[in-house]
Every structure is written in structure tokens, then in C-alpha cells.
Copies of this chain bind each other. A is one copy, B any other.
Amino acid sequence: MMDGPKMLRFLTAGESHGPELVAVVEGCPAGFDIELAKINYDLARRQKGYGRGGRMAIERDEVRVVSGVRFGRSMGSPITLIVENRDFKNWQKRMSVDPADRGEAEPVTRPRPGHADLAGVLKYNLDDIRDVLERASARETTMRVAAGSLAKLILEPFGVTTLGYVASIGSIEARTPADLSIEDLKRITESSQVRVADPEAERAIIAEIDECKKTGDTLGGVVEVVATGLPVGLGSHVQWDRKLDGRLAHVLLSLQAGFSRRGDTRIGAP
């Protein structure tokens, strides 16, 4: 009747312009095939999508494993995933660990709206917003993708498949044919520039993104995530913190995003 650590745990670390992004994933049993190509595929997938910012051209993320995997298989021990920031060479002085380099960087003093910048400097009494924005950055999601991709490798042998695609962006709702198999749905949406299964909607969305870019605005949207092959009875009704809805919501709402009125994160029946 002892409390203990959960099966899988992970911590991510790393600044947007620091040398490395890191994830330690702990609790993966021994004997699973860990194909780095599959993790790299998901990392590349994160960087695609029509209308992404310029940074995506700079970084082509590739994962390096420094623990927990031997000869392509998990050893049971903690798995450390590392993604180098290729742009770090231009930031070495400004992001230096060394106290001797203090003064090498102009402090950032203007908080971005819709980010944790202001809250962060007030919380920690900082005078350079860079100390906050380096972590309060979409770049941080890189290691969540890597860790999630690793989780998929563990689920794969049990026949669990996951898929995410776009249901709507801005004012355009894509029609997703109801009779597609999960494989077809994956194939079609993965080959779409905006990950929809509706070529007409794709053209309209691209047009709306182009329009929006001109005005310097952003668009919300709705993503649908599907998991198949799951065992019955995930989660439980017996205590508030075991309920699956709440736990999924925790993860989804922890994503940094400028939620628009239209695109509020929603958990619920489709």
C-alpha cells in the first residue's frame, strides 16, 4: 500500500536559443524497439504546415539519444532525448552560462502579449524578459513531441494508433469523410499542406492564411485527435484526478497558444 512513481514520467528542459533541448523519459520497460527515424519524422511534422514562421527553415530537428537505448532497444533505464539548436552558434554569448558574459546581451524589456512574459518577470523578479521568453516559447513543445513520439513507439506493439488532423482553421470547416479508414485518413491528411481531408477546404484555408498574414494576425482552428486500439477502461470514474477527460485536458491546455475566441480549446463530444 505504498505510494511510488508512476509508470511513465518525463521532464523537458532547454531554452529556445540555448545549446540543447532535453527530455528525460523514465519508466519505459526494456525491450521496445526505439526507431529514431520515427521520432525524427514526428519532429519534422511539427515543423511543417502552411504559414509557419521563418524559424522552421533554420531548424531541422534531429534527436540524439544519450541514455536508455542500446542496439536500437530500450534498456529499461531512463531515456534521454536531445535535440540540438542549430542556431545556437549565433547565441553563444547572449545565452552563455558563464557569469563573465553578463552584459553581452541587451535586456528584453517589452513583454509580448499572449505569452507568459509579464507573469514570468513579475513572478521571479527578473529584469530581462529573455530569461522568461526563452522557455515560454513554442520551441519548448519540441521535446513534448519527441517524448510523445517515444510513447507512440511503446504503444505501437499493442496495436494502438494515434492520429491528429485539422477540422477547421479560421472560418473554414473541412469535411472529413466519415467512411475513411484510419490509415487512409492518415495518408490523406499527412499529404495535405494544412492537414485536412478536404481539398476544397484546403484551398480556402490557404487563402485565409494568406489574407491573415497581410494583416499581421493569426487564426485559430480545431484539431481532432484520434486514438484506436485502446483497451476499454482507461481512466476511471472513482476519483477526480483519475478521470481521462480531466487528464487529457491538463495536457492539452498546458500547450502555449494564443487562443482566439473562435479557436478556444475544447474537450468534448464532436
Mark A residues whose CB is within 8 Å of B.
1-6, 8-15, 18-22, 24-27, 29-31, 33, 36, 65-73, 75-80, 95-99, 101-102, 116, 119-120, 122-126, 130-132, 134-136, 144, 147-148, 150-151, 232-233, 235-243, 245-254, 256, 259, 261, 264-269
Select which of B2, B9, B14, B76 is within 8 A of A3 by beta carbon. Answer: B9
Known contacts: A101-B71, A253-B245. The answer to whether A76 contacts B12 by CB under 8 A is no
* A247 cross-chain contacts in B, Cβ below 8 A: 2, 4, 250
Which of B13, B69, B96, B101 contacts A80, CB < 8 Å? B13
Q: A22-B22, A135-B237 provided; 7 other pairs, C-beta below 8 A? A: A70-B131, A75-B132, A75-B134, A76-B131, A119-B237, A120-B237, A265-B266
A4 near B241 with CB under 8 A, answer yes
How distant is the Cα of A253 from the Cα of B21 in the complex, in angstroms? Answer: 31
Q: Give CA–CA (A9, B1) in the complex, Å.
A: 7
| A264-B267 in contact (CB<8A) | yes
CB distance from A38 to the nearest CB of B (A): 13
CB pair A97 B69 closer than 8 Å: yes
A11/B72 in contact, CB under 8 A: no
A135 near B76: Cβ-Cβ < 8 Å: yes
Contact of A251 among B122, B246, B266 (CB under 8 A): B246
A254 touches B259 (CB 8 A): no
**In the complex, what distance in Å separates the CA atom of A71 from the CA atom of B18?**
12
Report whether A66 and B98 are in contact in the complex, using a CB–CB cutoff of 8 Å: no
**What distance in Å separates the Cβ of A121 from its nearest Cβ neighbour in chain B?**
9
Most chain B CB within 10 A, of A75, A120, A266, A268, is at: A75
A-B pairs with beta carbons under 8 Å apart, 20 shown: A1-B10, A5-B239, A9-B11, A11-B78, A13-B67, A15-B68, A18-B66, A26-B238, A26-B239, A27-B238, A70-B131, A71-B99, A72-B97, A72-B99, A72-B102, A77-B135, A78-B238, A119-B237, A136-B237, A246-B254
Contact A13 B240 (CB under 8 A): no
> Looking across the interface, which residue of chain B has its beta carbon closest to that of A21?
B67
Q: B76–A132 contact, CB under 8 A? A: yes
User: Are A13 and B69 in touch, CB under 8 angstroms?
Assistant: no
User: A151 is contacted by which of B1, B20, B232 (Cβ under 8 Å)?
Assistant: B1
Cβ A266 vs Cβ B269 within 8 A = no
Tell me whether B6 and A241 are in contact (CB under 8 A).
no
In the complex with contacts A66-B20, A131-B75, A238-B76, A264-B266 CB distance below 8 A = yes
Cβ-defined contact, A98 with B71, below 8 A: yes
